[in-house]
A and B are shown apart, each in its own frame.
Chain A
Amino acid sequence: MVGSNKAPSPPRWLLAELTYSCPLQCPYCSNPLDYANFKDELSTEDWKRVLKQSREMGAVQLGFSGGEPLVRKDLVELVDYSHELGYYTNLITSGYNMDEAKIIELKKAGLDHIQISLQASSKELNDFIAGTESFEHKKVVAKLIKKHGYPMVLCVVLHRENIHQMKDILEMAIELGADFVELANTQYYGWAHHNRDQLLPTQEQLKEAEAIANEYQASQKGSMKIYYVVPDFFEGRPKACMNGWGTTFLTIAPDGLALPCHSARQLPNFDCPNVKDYSIGEIWNESKAFNYFRGDDWMQEPCRSCPEKDKDFGGCHCQAFLLTGDATNTDPVCDLSPQHHLVTDAINQAAATSSEKPLVFRNSKNSKAF
């Protein structure tokens, strides 16, 4: 076993990725590039066992995600079961295929909150990025979510193509009655990593967008809470990824793989355990994958002697792997990393990329090519 010997804190957050199926084709999707290879989804009974065991361990926040979780026929049954167990249940959806009857059914089952995503503030751009005509329907669904008394988070992933719409996006959020807005700068994993040259915004775009976000944060105080997720490529210090590896978050992928972070499937030699083989207790407390980055024994320099190591835990290991080939390296977004040039090179390379270069959309045909 690698890592510290202290008993780990219990999981608080369970992300249930019910399926990789999705009617949308967003080119920044965080699902694995080769998602089409994972066809065997957990059964309803498997999910119930995972939900029960995780709840007993201490998980209390539960996100139903995907792919598009509405694709799963047993979603209402799983929400109902989770509500009984005492979870705070979040549905993270594109809104596609949602209708009023389903919103009512989910409410009756005890669903606490719905996060709906929009891809842009205009129909043309939204439908282009989503790869699917969905804009008008999403807006109808957002209004129905509020009509039925749910708290609603409106999530918009930001990138070079839509970040200039910041003001319109926020006005749209007000019009739709969002309680929370998540303005999430793209994180470069999965499909976003593949499309990075076309998605990374410029420093100027970011500066402008952030100023608008700050302005609305002040003017909407008390009625709509605005979260602006900073783009770590431009920050100089890494994010405290997953609030510390194996301390808080547990992701279960559609095929039952248990992941300390939803990108961890790609890390080589991690032997991430599957819930079909092990209990959540065994996975959380004893598995190699969940213990790997606990504590700081794994750290190399410059993290090891860094006074900020308890603040950001060395940053994101998946990003370190994607950019440097070694997950135990310092996250190169840190400007103390000897490999920080990989990040500045990426920014420069993206800025020099012609707008003619096509995005690779997330769909089964493209996935099978990886």
Chain B
Amino acid sequence: MSIQTDSAIQISPAYRLQWEEAQNMFVLLYPEGLIELNQSSAEILQVCDGNNSPADIVTVLEKKFDTSGLENDITNFLNTALDNGWIKQST
């Protein structure tokens, strides 16, 4: 299973993305576990809102950080996230 570029992505229902003030970072919470996210992972997951496709996510983040060439990094992360069940893609 690998990521499709044109269908919308959302955080899986069992997972919750949350800002943690005490640690100054975003974490992904799920039953009995948490993943501490680095800044780029957190940026990507924040726009996995059920509306954006991977292509949209690249556009949104390249605009936000006024840069280009993010597609590979974003696709790699999304594939890892999908493999781990953190995100779901509508089919």
Give the interface of A toward B (CB within 8 A): 10, 12-13, 56-58, 60-61, 63, 86, 88, 90, 112-113, 115, 149, 151-153, 179-180, 222, 225
CB within 8 Å of A: which B8-36 residues: 13-14, 16, 18, 20, 22-23, 27, 29-34
- A-B contact number at CB 8 A: 51
Apart from A60-B27, A115-B31, list 13 A-B contacts with CB within 8 A. A12-B23, A13-B34, A56-B22, A58-B23, A60-B20, A60-B29, A61-B34, A88-B18, A90-B31, A115-B32, A149-B13, A153-B31, A179-B14
Cβ B22 vs Cβ A57 within 8 A? yes
The distance from the CB of B36 to the nearest CB of chain A, in whole angstroms, is 8
Cβ B22 vs Cβ A61 within 8 A? no
CB within 8 Å of A: which B62-91 residues: 85
Cβ A58 vs Cβ B20 within 8 A? yes
Q: Residues of B contacting A153 with CB < 8 Å?
A: 31-32
In Å, the complex CA distance between A222 and B87 comes to 11
Q: Residues of A contacting B29 with CB < 8 Å?
A: 60-61, 88, 112
Q: Residues of B contacting A86 with CB < 8 Å?
A: 18
Determine the residue in chain A with the shortest Cβ distance to B29. Answer: A88
From the candidates B14, B27, B34, name the one contacting A113 in the complex (CB within 8 A).
Answer: B14
Q: A10-B22, A222-B85, A225-B85 are in contact. Are A61 and B14 (CB under 8 A)?
A: no
Q: A113-B31, A180-B31 are in contact. Are A60 and B18 (CB under 8 A)?
A: yes
Q: Residues of B contacting A222 with CB < 8 Å?
A: 1, 85
Cβ B32 vs Cβ A63 within 8 A? yes
Q: Residues of A contacting B14 with CB < 8 Å?
A: 113, 151, 179
From the candidates A10, A151, A179, A180, name the one contacting B23 in the complex (CB within 8 A).
Answer: A10
Cβ A151 vs Cβ B85 within 8 A? no
Cβ A151 vs Cβ B34 within 8 A? no
Q: A88-B16, A151-B13 are in contact. Are A60 and B32 (CB under 8 A)?
A: no
Cβ A12 vs Cβ B32 within 8 A? no
Q: List 21 A-B contacts (CB under 8 A).
A: A56-B22, A58-B22, A60-B18, A60-B20, A60-B34, A61-B32, A61-B34, A88-B29, A88-B30, A113-B14, A113-B30, A113-B32, A115-B31, A149-B13, A151-B30, A151-B31, A153-B31, A153-B32, A179-B14, A179-B31, A225-B85
In Å, the complex CA distance between A10 and B20 comes to 12
Q: Residues of B contacting A10 with CB < 8 Å?
A: 22-23
The distance from the CB of A54 to the nearest CB of chain B, in whole angstroms, is 10
